[in-house]
Amino acid sequence: MLGMLVRPNKVTKMRKGIGKFVNHPTRTGKKLYDKFYIYVPTQVAKDGTFPFKDGDEVEVEIKDETLIIKKAKS
């Protein structure tokens, strides 16, 4: 959600957790479009080493059976 503030917690180290992959279909006009989201556990997103902040653009890549998400180059 853009505009939401996530404050890193430098005390707690939570680098691994269970998130969720979810489809939220959205209707635009008469068409239904898929919108996919990956939810990151709050404890992981608030870890002081979490590499993203709200609104960052990310590059998504599939490599073998692994999904790689990294900051997009400007």
Structure tokens at 58: 């990310």
Given a cut of 50, is residue 7 above it in pLDDT? yes
pLDDT: which is higher, 4 or 73: 73
In-domain check, residue 64:
yes
What are residue 33's DSSP bridge partners? 26
Q: Let me know if residue 24 belongs to a domain.
A: yes
Q: Is residue 11 part of a domain?
A: no
Is it the case that residue 65 has pLDDT exceeding 80?
yes
Q: What is the pTM of this model?
A: 0.70
- For residue 64, the enclosing domain spans 20-71
The answer as to whether 29 is a domain residue is yes
Q: State how many domains the chain has.
A: 1
Interval 11-51: pLDDT, tens: 667 889 999 999 999 999 999 999 999 999 999 998 888 99
Judge whether 60 and 67 are in contact, CB under 8 Å: yes
- Report if residue 3 sits inside a domain: no
User: Rounded CA gap, 32 and 45, in Å?
Assistant: 31
Give domain status of residue 30, yes or no.
yes
